Amino acid sequence: MGRPLVGVLALQGDVREHARALAECGADFSAVRRESELSEVDGLVIPGGESTTMSRLLDTFELLEPVRKRIADGMPAYGSCAGMILLAREVLDGRPDQHQLGGLDITVRRNAFGRQVDSFEEDVELTGVDGGPVRAVFIRAPWVESASPEVEVLATVPEVPGAGSAAGRIVAVRQGAKLATAFHPELTGDTRVHRLFVEMVRAAA
């Protein structure tokens, strides 16, 4: 295919940054706020933000079941930070009424890295991405507590002094056409993660 149409769930979070990165990777962008817009896209990015707020807004905008269905039917999806939480099968430390979109057979811990003031950056090796380590920006980020054998672990936090209890934790995964990172590649100007996802969208088409 030529330029795939990739949607970004535009209910809350850093939508413009993802749109800019997708455009640099040869994809067309569509803001997704209603089911009709969702039905037109070849893949969907679920951005960072606040996962419980995004969960509630999916209900408000009547998008929860449509997104779940498209993901279950094989639509490629990429989630960063809060997007990883929403794509997970199970969440620890979430709200009892928080909705999950599924698609990744993982258990994540919400706000695992601590509060906003505990946000940090670190270089991580990311499987499937050439060109050396990726600068990972963690902002009130989750990490993956456990993953099924069907999930490919793409990155873990390196064993460096500043990592503390996060050292060795899983922060990027892939399962089929679903991709998730605990960090925010859209904030660094490095488009390699988005390029990987656009390639996944093309392959699925």
Q: pLDDT of 3-38, one tens digit each?
A: 999 999 999 888 999 999 999 999 999 999 999 999
Q: Which residue has the higher pLDDT, 191 or 113?
A: 191
Instruction: Report how far Cα 200 is from the mean position of its chain's Cα atoms.
Output: 14
Q: Catalytic positions, please? A: 81, 184, 186
Count of beta carbons in the 10 Å neighbourhood of residue 43 = 25
C-alpha to C-alpha distance for 172 and 183, rounded to whole angstroms? 8
Contact of 123 with 133, CB cutoff 8 Å:
yes
Question: Which CATH architecture fits 5-204?
Answer: 3-Layer(aba) Sandwich (3.40)
pLDDT in tens, 138-185: 887 888 999 999 999 999 988 766 656 677 889 999 999 999 999 999
pLDDT score, position 117 = 40
pLDDT score, position 159 = 76
Domains of the chain, residue spans = 5-204
DSSP-derived 3-state class of residue 51: helix
Average pLDDT, integer, range 118-141:
86
Question: Would the pLDDT of 55 be above 80?
Answer: yes
How confident is the prediction for the chain on average, in pLDDT? 90
pLDDT score, position 138 = 84
Contact of 54 with 10, CB cutoff 8 Å:
no
pLDDT score, position 157 = 86
Give the model's confidence band at 111: pLDDT under 50 very low, under 70 low, under 90 confident, else very high.
confident
Contact of 136 with 164, CB cutoff 8 Å:
no
Contact of 198 with 7, CB cutoff 8 Å:
no
Instruction: Report how far Cα 125 is from the mean position of its chain's Cα atoms.
Output: 17
pLDDT score, position 18 = 95
Average pLDDT, integer, range 185-195:
94
pLDDT score, position 84 = 95
Average pLDDT, integer, range 115-144:
83
pLDDT score, position 116 = 45
